[in-house]
Structure 1
Amino acid sequence: MAMTLFVIIGCGTACGNGAFDASSRYMVASAFGMGILVLAYATGHHSGGQINCAVTLSLVLGGQVPWFQGLANFIAQMLGSVLGAIILTWIFPCEMDMTNSLGTNVVNPAFGYGAAFSGEVAMTFLLCYVVWETAVTARCGQAACIPIGFAVFLAHVVLLPIDGCSINPTRSFGPAVISSMRGCPKYKPRHACNSCFDLSHLHAAVIFGSCSLDHSSAPPWQLPCRFACARELTSI
């Protein structure tokens, strides 16, 4: 449910407003950041609030989430992303979609794939770092969703002009698949672009998960650093 709503909120804001100038980019960045904050708080006490498979991977590699739970989360995230994109096609027909692709990421030719890859690695690393230092580390408070949401916002402020900002393979998957299937006249395939994003997120998650910083050896459900009402580990 969280992934479905996240795609509708974030990508829907991009579809309805575009991201062509500073004001529209700020609006889209705010929607993604606030979407994560709200949905992670809403679902954290049910499922851990994991709405990003790159962060889920880092938690699995860092020993905070069992691999079978991580796999189940990944499947649910992918299905949720596809469902969210399908709902977006009902809300934004081709002629009303200002991105022409349901908010699918595309690299700005002025920057190139190298800049997009580097930026996605850096900002995915930022998100993983914030998750580990706020939602996992035992010394943090109980408001982890707030800095995590702001980390997503900051990543979008940096990357929206470069590639539309992904930092989340599951967020990008559904819109890319569904927009390629619905056949809008102005749609342009971007498979190589999406592969670039996926590799960058995997790279960042592996680095951070393998070198996880100062985390408790206790299982996630015993960690003291959670939302005020959460029962399980919180992440994005």
Structure 2
Amino acid sequence: MVHTRDIATEPFPPSDREPGEERGDDEQVTGSLERVVKPDAARHDPRLAEVRDVAFPVALRGYEREAVDTYVKRVNRLISDFEASRSPDAEVRRALDQVGEETSGILRRAQQAATDITARSRASADDRIREAEGEARALTADAEERVRELEADFGRIWSERDRLLEEVRDLAERLLATADDATERFPTADEQEAIAATREDTASMPALEPGRPAEAELAFEAGVGTAGGAYGEAPAVSEPF
């Protein structure tokens, strides 16, 4: 972009005329700016027309004509620069520069926003990962504790099973011993009939008289043979209750 200087504040070059020297009427200076200012530009901007049509009247203490011409040339150059800066290409370039700056700013802000979002997302993901890992460790610890409890329960159940089996075996042995004792103490019906028959045979034997032991022995042997079946065999007598 071309920057124009403030020509109103610039002094004119020093004049070679002596003070009090007057100019003639034909020495009126008119700045000819038409060679550098386009007519359509003057129509668009009235200030250019005013600069183009500038006239310097003759005064008692006037300026040097060459100095005024130099000033007019300088103004013409400034107008040319101004026209160049007002051209469509310059406007397009300036608009493109402005759009480029805005686009660059937007891109920088978008990149910064993307960086911030990525950082926040990464931090959030890291937090979720740490939280998930903590939950997984807690679940694993709970599962291991539950397995240990089940193993302990299984051990107690197995020990209780062994104890119950031992008690059942002891109870069975006591029941068998009680049954054997009952069998010995309480004879069966056949054994009771044999005992009763023996008692009847014993009661039917003749009474022994003193002085006749041989007859008594014979009678006893005869009775025993009848009760026992075959002669000389002792009868099967169970012990009375």
Q: What's the TM-score bracket when you normalise by the shorter of the two chains? A: under 0.3
Q: Give TM-score, length-normalised by structure 1.
A: 0.19
Q: Which has the higher contact order (CA 8 A, sep 6+)?
A: 1
User: Rg: which structure is higher?
Assistant: 2
Q: Give TM-score, length-normalised by structure 2.
A: 0.19
